[in-house]
Structure 1
Amino acid sequence: MAPSFGMFSRSTRKNPAERTVTLIGKPGCHLCDAAQAVIETVCAETGASWEKKDITQDSDLHHKYWEQIPVILVDGAQHDFWRVDPKRLRTALGA
């Protein structure tokens, strides 16, 4: 009998509209501005929501990510840093 891979099927994946992208950055960061533009576009296309967090306002985020900003999380898990590839982000969102 062939093994069942049902738990890995596409039907168990989240709909992009159920996903959240988080941009962790700081004001005045040109890479953060560029990342935000990509995130806004991809989230508008896929229906995913997004949020922005400022490392200058959160000491834990500053300590964890200050050398990597901008950092992009998908549903709380680190997806990328420095630059955002729109195709890769769409794929991560299941679009």
Structure 2
Amino acid sequence: MPARVLLLGRAGCHLCDDARAVVEAVCGERGEAWEEVDIDTDADLKARYGDEIPVVKVDGETVGFWRIDADRLHRALS
């Protein structure tokens, strides 16, 4: 079963590092699986999200970008 939470980011991105910490914490508390995709490994993702990262999606819907809010992620997972 695919993870409900997807983090789109790239290496060397400090906002992505911050988002990863939020996603890790929230998903850990809720027992939710998550995955991370480096947009630089996919030309389509890079074209779509190039300057908007990090992006967090839950069940395919965007719930945040740039600064990821833990409360908003909790609500999206409820």
**TM class by smaller structure:** over 0.9
Counterpart of 1:84 in 2: which secondary structure?
coil
What is the distance in 1 between the residues matched to 2:44 and 2:3?
A: 23
Computing the radius of gyration from Cα coordinates, the structure with the larger value is 1
With structure 2 as the length reference, what TM-score do the two structures score? 0.93
CA-to-partner distance for each residue in 1:28-48, whole Å, 9 max, x for gaps?
000000000000000000111
Q: What's 1:64 paired with? A: 48
The number of aligned residues is: 77
Deviation of residue 19 (structure 1)? 6.2
Q: Which amino acid is the alignment partner of residue 33 of structure 1?
A: D
RMSD between superposed Cα atoms in Å: 1.3
| Aligned-partner residue type, residue 57 of structure 1 | T
Residue in 1 aligned with 2:58?
74
Contact 1:43 1:49 (C-alpha < 8 Å) held by counterparts: yes
Identical amino acids, percent of aligned pairs: 51
Q: CA deviation at 1:64?
A: 0.7
Tell me which residue corresponds to 1:87: 71
State the secondary structure of the residue aligned to 2:67. Answer: coil
- Selected match of 1:28 from 3, 6, 12: 12
Describe the superposition over 1:61-92 as per-residue Cα deviations: whole angstroms up to 9, x where unpaired.
10111110001111111111001110110011
- Superposition misfits of 4+ residues, deviation over 6 angstroms: none
TM-score after normalising by structure 1: 0.77
Unaligned runs of 5+ in 1: 1-17
> Matched residues in 1 for 2:6 and 2:30: separation?
15
